Structure 1
Amino acid sequence: MKKHIIIGLSVVIAVVASCQPRTKEAQNVSAEQKETAVSQDIKPAESGYADVNGLKMYYEVYGQGKPIVLLHGSFMTIPLNWSHIIPLLAKDRKVIVAEMQGHGRTKDIAREFSYEGMADDVSGLLRHLKTDSADILGYSMGGGIAFQVAVRHPEQVRRLIVLSGTYAHDGWWPNVEASFATFTPDMFKGTPIEKQYDSLGNDPAHFPEFLKKVMSIDLKSYDWSKDVKKIQAPIFMAIGDADGVRYEHALELFRAKGGGKMGDLHGLPASRLAILPGTTHIGMMQRTDLLIPMITDFLDSDLNTAPPTF
């Protein structure tokens, strides 16, 4: 099954790349350049490396307005995960994107992978950028990091968005969780993930080590349920109806955050839940037609939870 997931991811990435707007000049660039370009129509206002917790963390900043931080999934990079989303959010927001430990241009260090450690890195990046607080959006692995940012650094989080992410290891369907141990480097042969790992200055010989280290965080038990349910920031959690995340897992958090009541009688909760139809875990990042309006509405809402009057 896991091989099918990796193949599916490669197809999705190829579709994303083919759908990007192209200028006349862009038609002549190489395939590798196309894979690493966010968009030909938008350039970062700032990019560089932040010294945080022993890392030189690569980041880019786009647009202006209220800041939102985008946290990518396992094995991904800024262009692979966010190329088609940055232009949509940067129209009226400051979009901060970064590459996590060992991913892309953020070189690995002698430190184990952990959601908590990467959350502290994100906190350090915000301080480096002199940003007191921001909206945090995480996808898959990035969703776990986002949960931990809100748990460990609540003062830096205005609102939290988690796409296809979990706050406990058993938040995944059992067969999905069991499949994590079956990842092998051969599954990534020739994929955009392997190609971009090589093209961004990493030693190809270390790719198996990179794979093993990234997967280590999901091969051990974790359960942040108590802490996550105490998060004060409003949470918008979205999963696909054909995702790897259990429906009950998302519903449990939504109920803890005020869901499970009739809004016409009790008012709307500050937090939100969406189950996107016809959407897989990998396909989640392709559903910008549904996601972007819901994300912007959540971020811009005044959180007036009072029930309507008649």
Structure 2
Amino acid sequence: MAKDVQLGAVRTWYDDTGDGEPVLLLHGGFVDSRSFEPAVAGLAEHFRVYRMDRRGHGRTPDVAGPISYDLMAEDTIAFLDKVVGGAAHLVGYSDGAVVALLVALRRPDLVRKLVSISGNFRHDGLLPGVLDGFAHEEPMRRLAARYGEVSPDGEEHFRVVAEKLLSMARAEPTLTVEELARITSRTLVIAADDDAMSLEHTIALYRAIPDSELAIIPGTSHLLVVEKPAEVYRVVGTFLNTDATRTWQPIRRA
């Protein structure tokens, strides 16, 4: 059921469906929670699934000033406190994965399990030239049209939001492996084998979080949730639905 809630200065759109432990889906940048539609039905068989459109995305309006990961993390914490009413499993894709990491660090009491899909913890983890693609007219036109389908700010405002997001991505996030080591939630790190961040950066994220697991989806890019959604969400669902099991020949987990 679609609703909205006031989170500070931001009137935030969200929906929820299903029953069970809460799962909050955190979408990527330049898109919105519609990108999670392939995930919702399967997850809702076992969980109460929440989706929220963050500030300046989808059906949630932009507000004056910059967009930052810090602000989006604070919005997410407010959503968990005010709407969910406590801890949830966090599933974040791309920018949403960064937000999930920040929430886990600031409010570990609000995070059950954490799934990071194609997320980076430092801005320099992105491969050279990745952000340059947003300078091309055709992809920006498609993103703007998609934005305009639902945004209360109208399609013409997309360029404003896009510039805010690009400015953010050039300078953030700035987490360290020492900070990541403080994450206590059981975590699944998922990435494509041809992702926007280096494989070494993804492995560094996996190694830094003490209770973490790693999945690389073969034959995919940063758009893995579009290219192979069934495979991605099968891995996510299995992780959320099961407890950690001791492997037969542990090395890292020994």
TM-score of the pair, normalised by structure 2: 0.89
C-alpha distance after superposition, 1:61-92 (max 9, x if no partner): 0111111111111111222x112111121122
Shift of 1:289: 2.9
Aligned residues between the structures: 248
Stretches of structure 2 that go unaligned for 5 or more consecutive residues are 250-254
Q: How far has the Cα of 1:99 moved from its partner?
A: 0.3
Pair 1:64 & 2:19 matched:
yes
Of 98, 106, 125, which residue of structure 1 is paired with 2:79? Answer: 125
Deviation at 1:274, TM superposition (A): 0.9
Offset from partner CA, 1:110-168 (integer Å, 9 cap, x none): 23211111011111111222421000011111111111111122110011101111011
Q: Describe the SS at the equivalent of 2:65.
A: coil
How far apart, CA to CA, are the structure 1 residues paired with 2:137 and 2:153? 15
Q: What is the 5 A alignment of 1:69-88?
A: 69-79=24-34, 81-88=35-42
Question: Which runs of structure 2 are paired with 1:12-51 in the superposition (5 Å)?
Answer: 46-51=1-6
Greater alpha carbon shift after TM alignment, 273-282 vs 226-235: 226-235
Query: Partners in 1 of 2:70 and 2:106 — Cα distance?
Result: 8
Q: Which residue of 1 aligns with 2:166?
A: 215
Query: Which one-letter code corresponds to 2:98 in the other structure?
Result: G
Q: Classify the secondary structure of the residue corresponding to 2:197.
A: coil
**CA deviation string 1:22-45 (max 9, x = no partner):** xxxxxxxxxxxxxxxxxxxxxxxx
Name the counterpart of 1:107: 61
Give the aligned partner of residue 129 of structure 2: 175
1:186–1:285 Cα change, 3 Å = closer
Residue 198 (structure 1) shift:
2.0
Q: Of 178, 182, 185, which residue of structure 2 is paired with 1:230?
A: 182
- How far apart are the structure 2 equivalents of 1:150 and 1:185? 36
Q: 1:254 to 1:198 in 2, by over 3 A?
A: closer
Residue 170 of structure 1 and its aligned partner are, at CA, apart by 1.7
Q: Residue 94 of structure 2 aligns with which residue? A: 140
Q: Which amino acid in structure 1 is aligned with residue 140 of structure 2?
A: F
Please give the alpha-carbon distance, in whole angstroms, between the structure 2 residues aligned to 1:110 and 1:97: 23
Q: Distance in 1 between matches of 2:129 and 2:180?
A: 24
Q: Does 1:299 align with 2:240?
A: yes
Contact 1:238 1:276 in 2 (8 A): yes
Question: Could you tell me how far apart the structure 1 residues matched to 2:78 and 2:101 are?
Answer: 16
Corresponding residue to 1:198 among 133, 148, 151: 148
Matches of 1:120 and 1:185 in 2, distance apart?
32
Q: Residue in 2 aligned with 1:249?
A: 201
The alignment yields a C-alpha RMSD, in angstroms, of 2.1
TM-score by length of 1: 0.74
Tell whether 2:228 aligns with 1:287: yes
Q: Do the aligned partners of residues 235 and 195 (structure 1) sit closer, same or farther apart at CA in structure 2, a change above 3 Å counting? A: same
Gaps of 5+ in 1: 1-45, 259-269
Cα gap change, 1:237 to 1:130, in 2 (>3 Å): closer
User: Identity over aligned residues, as a percent?
Assistant: 28
Q: Which has the higher strand share?
A: 2
Residues of 1 paired with 2:198 and 2:86: CA distance?
34
Aligned residues of 1:185 and 1:211 also touching (Cα < 8 A): no
Aligned to 2:252: none
Structure 2 residue identity aligned to 1:57: T
CA deviations 1:230-257 (Å, max 9, x no partner) are 1011110111111112111121122233
